[in-house]
Structure 1
Amino acid sequence: MRWLVGMSSTGNSASATKQQLLAHVAPMFLFILLLGLVGMIKSPGAEFWLAAPEFWIYPLQTLLCAGLLIYFRRRYKFHPLRRPVFTGAISLLVLILWIAPQQFFHFPPRLVGFNPDALAYSPGLYWTTLLFRFVRLTIVVPFVEEIFWRAFLLRYLIAERFTTIPFGTFSPLSFAVVTLAFCFSHSRPDWPAALLTGALYNLVAYRTKSLRSCILAHALTNLGLGLWIVATKQWGFW
């Protein structure tokens, strides 16, 4: 009987690990899939919904990814918020890294991108679109990315059964791979800032041992960046 109990326990453990894997990876996979869809169907000169598909795909992406996060919410361990001053300082430093070239060193502005002013003819549609954009930027993206990069991959590269690894455990390999992968997941002009950002957000994970703190750092950075984008109309940073 003991071997039957052992097999059952092993099977349950494997199933739980697969469910945890799905919970941590699926939102990111869906996010990237929908992001790629924009480029696939974008047809300049066509009807608006094809010429600028980001105006409807981004809200759809926001809703679907948020739905997955809510569905899997019991699979995530967010941990108490720790070192809030340190977390806030890192978020501010990351924000400065992103805006410094244009704001302080007079690099060419990045004006081409998701421009909600295209909907200025309809105030209701304009503000709804902008609201969705900020929800995506400050809530969905921080949750999706931190759950994937810091809660999953940073630990998975230490052990395949990543849930057995305490959050914020340091490994030179996982640090390097996650930092580089985070960097290259961004567009080429963003690589320098994204490389440093990946390293700094990893540092938040190591110092706070808290997924909640990582999400907060990412959210604060993105909120500041979003406000700066709207103020300067540098839509290329969306």
Structure 2
Amino acid sequence: MKPYISTAEPAGSAPALARIVPFALYLVFIFIADVLSRMGYGAQETRWLYGVKILAVSAALALYWRHYAELAWQGMRASMLAASAAVGVAVFVLWISLDAGWMQIGSAAGFDPRAANGAMNWPLVALRMAGAALVVPVMEELFWRSFLLRWLHSPDFLAVRAAAVSLKALVITVVLFGFEHNLWLAGMVAGLAYGLLYMRSGNLWTAIVAHGVTNGVLGAWIVVTGNWHYW
């Protein structure tokens, strides 16, 4: 009889860390921004920190890229691509609608890219849009859906098929994803939508595309309407 050899990937393993570290870096910069705010630095004075945060997260993703087998392009049918984009737009609509006082935790500092004279700082707008629509969706979907959703189902998360994930694991990630955001209810709706997309398709890119569309459309809406607190 052959001895049993576990293939489980503990949270401290390289595949797990590859999905945790970029997300953890993102949280560290949120903490730094909060500390600077408590020290008296205004949101306008710390806008530069966003670029450093996105650069650090991008560097971490590049460093661990070889561990992301699920990001190898599998191809997406036109119908699936359209469905992902539609989900992304639907989440955007709900995101700006589910903003009643009881649906929020605290208040968001926001990100205002305008100069002191009111002129738009377009490089800052481009930086924020690129970070929110291109980098954040990859980083968050790798952590929340690829890693945590499957890891809660089984420590051997790399062997877990998306469609086989338990309802318990889905609910936990939806709740935690919601409370990661100031708009907690909107966050839960988004987490549920992205999670179900991934579980139904088995392709992480569906969730990434939907997440990217949500953030991209939200960013464009913010710039047009001036609702900077949504950033």
TM-score interval, smaller chain: 0.7 to 0.9
Contact 2:173 2:191 in 1 (8 A): yes
Q: Does 1:207 align with 2:200?
A: yes
Q: Per-residue CA shift, 1:175-214, capped at 9, x if unaligned?
A: 1000100001111xx1221111111111111121111111
Taking the aligned partners of 2:169 and 2:63, their CA distance within structure 1 comes to 28
Q: Which position in structure 2 is the counterpart of 1:107?
A: none
Equivalent residues of 1:111, 1:233 under 8 A apart: no
Matched residues in 1 for 2:125 and 2:49: separation?
13
Distance 1:153 1:41 in 2: 30
Q: Which residue of 2 is the match for residue 160 of structure 1? A: 155
* Aligned-residue offset at 1:88: 1.6
Q: Which residue of 1 aligns with 2:94?
A: 97
Shift of 1:51: 2.7
Matches within 5 A, 1:1-238: 18-42=13-37, 50-52=41-43, 53-76=45-68, 77-78=70-71, 80-82=74-76, 83-100=80-97, 113-118=110-115, 126-187=121-182, 190-238=183-231
The 1-side partners of 2:108 and 2:18 are apart by: 36
Single out whichever of 35-44 and 158-167 deviates more from structure 2.
35-44
SS of corresponding position for 1:31: helix
Asked if structure 1 preserves the Cα contact closer than 8 Å seen for 2:8 and 2:155, the reply is no
1:85 deviates by 2.0
C-alpha RMSD of matched pairs (Å): 2.9
Report the Cα distance in structure 1 between the residues aligned to 2:42 and 2:20, rounded to whole angstroms: 30
Structure 2 distance, partners of 1:37, 1:16, is 25
Compare the two structures and name the one with the higher helix fraction: 1
Aligned length: 218
Q: 1:14–1:86: structure 2 CA closer, same or farther, 3 Å change rule?
A: closer
**Matches of 1:81 and 1:193, distance apart in 2:** 29
Helix, strand or coil: the match of 2:171? Answer: helix
Query: Aligned partners of 1:220, 1:145: CA distance in 2, in Å?
Result: 14
Pairwise CA distance, 1:80: 1.8
Q: TM-score, normalised by structure 2?
A: 0.84
Paired amino acid for 1:100: S
Q: Which sections of structure 2, spanning at least 5 residues, go unmatched? A: 100-106
Confirm or deny: 8 A CA contact 2:9 2:157 kept in the other structure: no
Question: CA 1:144 to 1:168, structure 2 compared with 1: closer, same or farther past 3 Å?
Answer: farther
**Are the counterparts in 2 of residues 111 and 234 from structure 1 also a CA contact under 8 Å?**
no
2 CA distance for matches of 1:137 and 1:184? 18
Where 1:157 maps in the other structure, the secondary structure is: helix
Task: Report the 3-state secondary structure (helix = DSSP H, G, I; strand = E; otherwise coil) of the residue aligned with 2:149.
Answer: helix
Identity of matched residues, % = 28
- Matched AA of 2:114: D
| 1:119–1:165 CA distance, 2 compared to 1 (3 A) | farther
The CA distance in 2 between the partners of 1:13 and 1:43, in whole Å, is 42
Q: For 1:129 and 1:120, locate their aligned partners in 2 and report how far apart those are by CA, in whole Å.
A: 15
